A and B are shown apart, each in its own frame.
Chain A
Amino acid sequence: MGTATSDNLTGSLRAWQEGDLAALDRLTPIVYDEIRRMAHRLMNRERHAHTLNTTALVNEAYVRLLGDRQAQWTNRSHFFAVVGQVMRHVLIDHARRRLYQKHAGETHKVPLEEAELMTTERAQELVALDEALALLREIDQRKAEVVELRYFGGLDLEETANVLGISVMTVRRDWRAAKAWLYRELNRS
């Protein structure tokens, strides 16, 4: 049993997975809300929790939006994939604007308060990572997906394996190879 809204959400998730790009536009604001909520919790009230776990937060977001009765793997997988992708877009956009603002010497593009939250180094790292990830995607799409789900989507090995339908061992191996490859790419002089 889901609400009308969660049914729409399910439909959008499916449409997006089937290649309907407009569906992602419909999903993005909802996912924004969830990411912001997760980030808010991470930032504030849960800072005492040693057991802090981003996978749990993403799972919780899923349950909140779609209800626990809709815990079908396909829906979950689509949702987690969207979260990873949206998260990457948000951060990279922000990093780009941050760097643009610095280079252009403009201060009105990004409010100062907002700009200060991300260091230039971090912005550079994110932009470089995104570019390297694009290269990795060309030669090994699955590894790029593993990185998107784990690093941007906050999923752990097990959940990443579930989403991609591969074994945990494979995720572990993909992760270490991708990490080596991306790190080398980012540190090429």
Chain B
Amino acid sequence: MKTERWQQIEAVLQQALDLPVADREPFVRGACGEDHGLREETNSLIEALGQAGDFMEEPALTRDAEVLVTALPDRNVGRTIGSYTLVKRIGAGGMGEVYLAEDGRLGRKVALKILPLSLAGEQLARFQTEARAVSSLNHPNVLTIHEIGSEADTHFIATEFIEGRTVRELIDEDAVSIEEAVDICLQVGSALQAAHSAGIIHRDIKPENIMRRPDGLVKVLDFGIAKPNRALGTSFSTPEHQTEIGVILGTVGYMSPEQARGLAVDERTDVWSLGVVLYEMVAKRLPFTGPTKMDVLASILERDPPILETGRSAAVVLILEKCLRKDRSERYQSVAELLANLRYAQEELSHEAHSDLIGRGGPPWPPLVGLRSTQARVAHKLGRVPELSGQSTSRRKAVVVATAFLVLTLGASIAVWLWQGRSGISSQVPVQTKLYRDMTTEERLAFIDQQEQRISAMMGDRPTRLNRDALQAIEKNLSQYLLLVEPDSLNDIVQRAVPYVPLIAKEFTAQKVPIAIGIYLPMIESAYHPCEESQYGAKGIFQFLPGTARQYGVAPHEMCDASKMTPAAARYIADRMAELGEDAQSMTLVLLSYNRGPERVRNELRELRGTANFQRNFWTLFAHRERLDDTFRNESAGYVPRFFAAAIIGENPQVFGLNTPPLSSLANR
């Protein structure tokens, strides 16, 4: 076939493929005229595409992974580094490859981790310093480090070689009993306690990093070594994050809320992650899940884990509840506290094994600091732990609150379950069967509340349940969006934003601005007008007043150019956030600052002084709107709900009958 002929065929083919299936054949007939060869070629290609199905859709890298692993020579095997001869590769991860090696001097087996080439300079030095600190721990549950060394360009760490299984493998094989789970956590906790007292935080406790020897001794690996990047968390699911070592793929499930937000971590982060591991070992599933990384993070930030019904150990249920508190000041404040309760659980389980009677006997529950209503209620229900003392009225209140909590948690977990069950693994897009337009008012409000919480959490705001008033403000805006355009063209409008999402994600991440602001702001700003139609319109990009644009280096004729406008917008918002300082933690304030300037925001905030920072969220501002000046009140009651309405459409296109994945999911591509 000649190139020219192919071009001719392809032109018809592409046009035909843009048409609905039924219209293709007539179109091809018309387009090809008397050229029967052209028609046959085009039709056979259309037919082939129809039959091709998932042909080539799974990358060869995935499909033939096993072949590649075996077929590709490993240059390192047989190589000698320092006094170590590499025998075979036993693991690979973000922070390097691990080989079984022979130590020529001492004739023993070691595990040799070869660090990535890109680790250099200050980063490498810090890494080595920390490895040295860990090597001085000398704790039976911490993997012993023999040597931190280098040869030529290769930096390595030699550790003791453990013949055992990772907890990941044990979980996969369904080989962990609840007693073993508690035992593993006791040993990991012991290692953590030693590390914490030496000022070392693990930061990446997960089943892959815990090994158990055949004799039952547990070793924690990658101590202070596998370290999620500190810059993580200014926004989510950005292309940059995919390349962050240790963060990629599957590890987000063990992250603490503070890690997910990119805040500084302390020992309570390890408490959380160990809680997640315990939960997974006992429940055989993760407490926080979702079809995409972003959903997992949102779940960590906003959802309570499904309540565990072990039926075996009330103590384990309570321990999990206390490890997995979003607010770290409500968690175990030290591993020592956690260990005390784990020992109790261990006794409880062995006692149960002897008495074989649930709810009778058992050792006394050690004093628990900050046992809250839920715990009290769960404990009380299980009849194992005395109720907290307190005023009877406050207790009654506590029971009411706890009941509401349980109902909400169960409701949420059922919703999550249904949602995941429907979406399946192959489709990354959550499927909600009911269309927004078919929902009753109550269903709409419930849906909006749920989504507002999710979106707030994605952006760092503390989610709060909204009252009807606030819900209706968002609902009104949603209706306006829907009325703004004919239903069919809503799809076109969202689609128009699609190609720009990766660019926005990239630029906004670079400026440390939550990408959600970048994705949904243009939807409000543009009122859905494409740039060509309106001076302030956008096509999935940002628009400024010409003066602001010029200030950020965008000439008037460039105002429709996404590649110019997007970085400018990211810088502009980052500047507003910098001016807001600490208040920039509230997405609502950032939005208002974007629209009204930080000075006005600051003035108005003075009115609200005394409210805790997390209360500067949409709901608080909305609830106190009578105390704000006119402009600010209107913004809080109008602009911000409008943002949520845009985000709700962008995040749930299928609920609005749109044929596109959630916009945030496109940030990954």
Q: Are B668 and A53 in contact (CB under 8 A)?
A: yes
Q: Are A179 and B56 in contact (CB under 8 A)?
A: yes
Interface size on A, residues (CB 8 A): 77
Q: Are A168 and B499 in contact (CB under 8 A)?
A: yes
Q: Are A183 and B502 in contact (CB under 8 A)?
A: no
Q: Are A147 and B245 in contact (CB under 8 A)?
A: no
Q: Contacts A140-B3, A183-B52 given: A59-B120 contact, CB under 8 Å?
A: no
Complex contacts, B118 vs chain A, CB 8 Å? 2-3, 6, 63-68
Q: Are B75 and A29 in contact (CB under 8 A)?
A: yes
- Cα distance A132–B292 when bound, in Å? 35
Near B by CB (< 8 A), chain A positions 82-120 give 87-88, 90-91, 94, 113-114, 117-118
Near A by CB (< 8 A), chain B positions 48-103 give 48-49, 51-52, 55-56, 59-62, 64-76, 89, 91-94, 97
Q: Are B13 and A51 in contact (CB under 8 A)?
A: no
- Cα distance A65–B116 when bound, in Å? 7
Q: Are B669 and A4 in contact (CB under 8 A)?
A: no
- Cα distance A145–B120 when bound, in Å? 34
A22 within 8 A of B: no
Q: Are A167 and B121 in contact (CB under 8 A)?
A: no
A176 within 8 A of B: yes
- Cα distance A153–B59 when bound, in Å? 8
A131 within 8 A of B: no
- Cα distance A125–B538 when bound, in Å? 46
Q: Are A3 and B153 in contact (CB under 8 A)?
A: yes
Q: Contacts A32-B75, A147-B56 given: A157-B94 contact, CB under 8 Å?
A: no
Bitwise interface map of A from 24 to 67 toward B, beta carbon under 8 Å scored 1, else 0: 00000100110111111111011011111111110110111111
Q: Contacts A49-B249, A173-B14 given: A39-B66 contact, CB under 8 Å?
A: yes
Tell me the smallest distance from the CB of B194 to a CB of chain A, in Å: 26
Q: Are B72 and A64 in contact (CB under 8 A)?
A: no
Q: Are A35 and B67 in contact (CB under 8 A)?
A: no
Tell me the smallest distance from the CB of B180 to a CB of chain A, in Å: 20
Tell me the smallest distance from the CB of A117 to a CB of chain B, in Å: 5
Q: Are A42 and B65 in contact (CB under 8 A)?
A: yes
B168 within 8 A of A: yes
Tell me the smallest distance from the CB of A180 to a CB of chain B, in Å: 4
- Cα distance A64–B116 when bound, in Å? 6
Complex contacts, B668 vs chain A, CB 8 Å? 51, 53, 56
Q: Contacts A5-B153, A56-B248 given: A150-B59 contact, CB under 8 Å?
A: yes
Q: Contacts A53-B668, A90-B71, A176-B49 given: A151-B243 contact, CB under 8 Å?
A: no
Near A by CB (< 8 A), chain B positions 111-145 give 116-118, 120-121
Complex contacts, B120 vs chain A, CB 8 Å? 1-3, 67
Tell me the smallest distance from the CB of B229 to a CB of chain A, in Å: 10
Q: Are B49 and A41 in contact (CB under 8 A)?
A: no
Near B by CB (< 8 A), chain A positions 142-174 give 147, 150-154, 156-159, 167-169, 173
Interface size on B, residues (CB 8 A): 65
The listed residue (A2, A35, A59, A122) touching B61 by CB distance below 8 A is A35
B406 within 8 A of A: no
B609 within 8 A of A: no
> Closest residue of chain A to B294, judged by CB?
A51
B17 within 8 A of A: yes
Q: Are B17 and A176 in contact (CB under 8 A)?
A: yes
Q: Are A57 and B425 in contact (CB under 8 A)?
A: no
Q: Are A154 and B62 in contact (CB under 8 A)?
A: yes
Complex contacts, A167 vs chain B, CB 8 Å? 499
A189 within 8 A of B: no
Complex contacts, B292 vs chain A, CB 8 Å? 50-51
A177 within 8 A of B: yes
Q: Are A118 and B14 in contact (CB under 8 A)?
A: no
- Cα distance A66–B62 when bound, in Å? 23
> Closest residue of chain B to A152, judged by CB?
B60
Complex contacts, A183 vs chain B, CB 8 Å? 48-49, 51-52, 55
| A35, A41, A62: most-surrounded residue (chain B CB, <10 A) | A41
Q: Contacts A36-B68, A139-B3, A179-B52 given: A91-B45 contact, CB under 8 Å?
A: no
Q: Are A68 and B243 in contact (CB under 8 A)?
A: yes
- Cα distance A176–B10 when bound, in Å? 11
A182 within 8 A of B: yes
Q: Are B117 and A5 in contact (CB under 8 A)?
A: yes
The listed residue (A45, A55, A152, A184) touching B93 by CB distance below 8 A is A45
B250 within 8 A of A: yes
> Closest residue of chain B to A69, judged by CB?
B118
Near A by CB (< 8 A), chain B positions 221-262 give 239, 242-243, 245, 248-250
A187 within 8 A of B: yes
- Cα distance A45–B97 when bound, in Å? 13
Q: Are B68 and A39 in contact (CB under 8 A)?
A: yes
Q: Are A48 and B250 in contact (CB under 8 A)?
A: yes
Q: Are B64 and A40 in contact (CB under 8 A)?
A: no
Complex contacts, B49 vs chain A, CB 8 Å? 176, 179-180, 183
B46 within 8 A of A: yes
Tell me the smallest distance from the CB of B227 to a CB of chain A, in Å: 15
- Cα distance A26–B606 when bound, in Å? 64
Tell me the smallest distance from the CB of B443 to a CB of chain A, in Å: 28
> Closest residue of chain B to A169, judged by CB?
B499
Complex contacts, B10 vs chain A, CB 8 Å? 140, 177
- Cα distance A32–B291 when bound, in Å? 31
The listed residue (B48, B71, B153, B243) touching A180 by CB distance below 8 A is B48
Near A by CB (< 8 A), chain B positions 475-504 give 499, 502
Could you pull out 29 A-B pairs where Cβ atoms are within 8 angstroms? A3-B118, A38-B65, A39-B61, A39-B64, A39-B72, A40-B92, A43-B65, A54-B62, A59-B239, A60-B243, A64-B94, A65-B116, A65-B117, A68-B243, A87-B60, A87-B61, A90-B68, A90-B72, A91-B60, A91-B68, A129-B56, A139-B6, A140-B3, A151-B56, A158-B502, A169-B499, A176-B17, A177-B10, A183-B51
A36-B74, A54-B62, A57-B248 are known; give 4 further A-B pairs, CB within 8 A. A33-B76, A35-B61, A56-B248, A154-B60
Instruction: Please provide the 3 A-B residue pairs with the shortest distance between their CB atoms, ordered closest to farther.
Output: A49-B250, A56-B242, A184-B48
Q: Taking beta carbons and an 8 Å cutoff, which residues of A are in contact with B?
A: 1-6, 29, 32-33, 35-43, 45-46, 48-57, 59-60, 62-68, 87-88, 90-91, 94, 113-114, 117-118, 122, 126, 129, 138-140, 147, 150-154, 156-159, 167-169, 173, 176-177, 179-184, 187
Q: Taking beta carbons and an 8 Å cutoff, which residues of B are in contact with A?
A: 1-3, 6, 10, 13-14, 17, 44-46, 48-49, 51-52, 55-56, 59-62, 64-76, 89, 91-94, 97, 116-118, 120-121, 153, 168, 208, 239, 242-243, 245, 248-250, 291-293, 296, 425, 428, 499, 502, 668-669
